[in-house]
Structure 1
Amino acid sequence: MLPPSPENSFQSTHADLLITSFQRLLGRPLAANPEALYRADAVVLSHDGAADPVLTYGNLTAQRLWGMGWDQLTKLPSRLTAEPAHRAQRDAMFAEMRSKGFIENYSGVRISATGQRFEIQNAIIWPLIDEDGIKRGEAATFTDWQML
């Protein structure tokens, strides 16, 4: 079940975009449906296409890892998922993804709401492009992380 919210329609539509854009770009499934995506063991996050992107999606695993509920996580500027010292590396990763179409095997240090640092490993980063070819944001998924 998706989180309780008046925006469940957006959440379901956005989850479909995550699933279909991943399949289209990488040629393999991310999840069977929005419910499976929300409850997946893998972390799945996305942000919008603003100049200072804000997170638009974080499944339950992402919420637990960052120590935030849906409402808090989806108001967070994406850059704040990393400490200032690690933001240049994060920016370089997004630049590489934009030039290549998507990237796999990304690793980087992130920080939770409680200040717990962790390293994500083997992350896949891809653009969220809808059926009309319009870019709606960017997303990441990973199953490997290590608390620091």
Structure 2
Amino acid sequence: MSLEKQLNLLKQIDNCFLALNGKKLPSPLGVLDRYLWLHEKAPYSILAQGGEEDPYFIYANNYALSCFKYSLDEILSLPAKLSAAEENRPKRKLLFDKVAREGIVYNYNGDRVDKYQNTFRINDTIVWQLEENDGEVWGQGALFWSKEKERPRLVYRI
């Protein structure tokens, strides 16, 4: 997937976040290309999966790739459920069921696995529906922090 397509998809993910949250994904003021910053330099993960019954990842920023230890091509060919160990998949499914009912879910914490089956924790996760203007769901977006308390100064832009 070209960088241009990734940034366009990220813009759609951000617009869905704004529609449900009232704020855009956090970024510092003064960034010249906000979407390039979110894609390449954000200190938190941004992921999205498609809206199919058994979805694959459709987007991952650089931070998410570093957490999961996959290349972009690898993660885009990965069924999203494989981001959690088998014993954690029921909890992950409950999260996405709740997102389907409520549109957005805040403060989820859980364990995920990387390419090598090493477990890592996701913190303060926000998961939201990716919807067209007519309400048709085309996926889910997620933002998570890999460090429990450390947060840089970022502002929410509208």
Band the TM-score falls in, shorter-chain normalisation: 0.7 to 0.9
CA contact (8 A) 1:104 1:123 kept: yes
**Matching residue's letter, 2:78:** L
Partner of 1:10: 5
Q: Which moved more, 1:13-22 or 1:78-87?
A: 13-22
Structure 1 residue runs of 5 or longer lacking an equivalent are none
| Mapped partners of 1:15, 1:132: distance in 2 | 19
Partner of 1:85: 87
The TM-score, its normalising length taken from structure 1, stands at: 0.88
Structure 2 residue runs of 5 or longer lacking an equivalent are 28-33, 149-158
Following superposition of structure 1 onto structure 2, how do residues 108-127 of structure 1 map, counting pairs within 5 Å? Answer: 108-127=110-129
Following superposition of structure 1 onto structure 2, how do residues 1-148 of structure 1 map, counting pairs within 5 Å? Answer: 5=1, 7-31=2-26, 33-39=34-40, 40-145=42-147
CA contact (8 A) 2:7 2:39 kept: no
CA contact (8 A) 1:43 1:61 kept: yes
| Mapped partners of 1:35, 1:134: distance in 2 | 27
Q: Which moved more, 1:95-104 or 1:80-89?
A: 95-104
Q: Would you identify which runs of 4 or more consecutive aligned residues in structure 1 move more than 4 Å?
A: none
Q: Which moved more, 1:30-39 or 1:92-101?
A: 30-39
**Matching residue's letter, 1:131:** N
**Matching residue's letter, 1:46:** A
Calculate the aligned-residue CA RMSD, in Å. 1.6
How far is the alpha carbon of 1:108 from its aligned partner? 1.1
Q: Deviations over 1:2-45 (max 9, x none)?
A: xxx4x444322211111111111101110563212202111000
Q: Which moved more, 1:87-96 or 1:27-36?
A: 27-36
How far is the alpha carbon of 1:145 from its aligned partner? 4.0
CA contact (8 A) 1:118 1:145 kept: no
The TM-score, its normalising length taken from structure 2, stands at: 0.83
User: Relative contact order, CA 8 A, sep 6+: which one is greater?
Assistant: 2
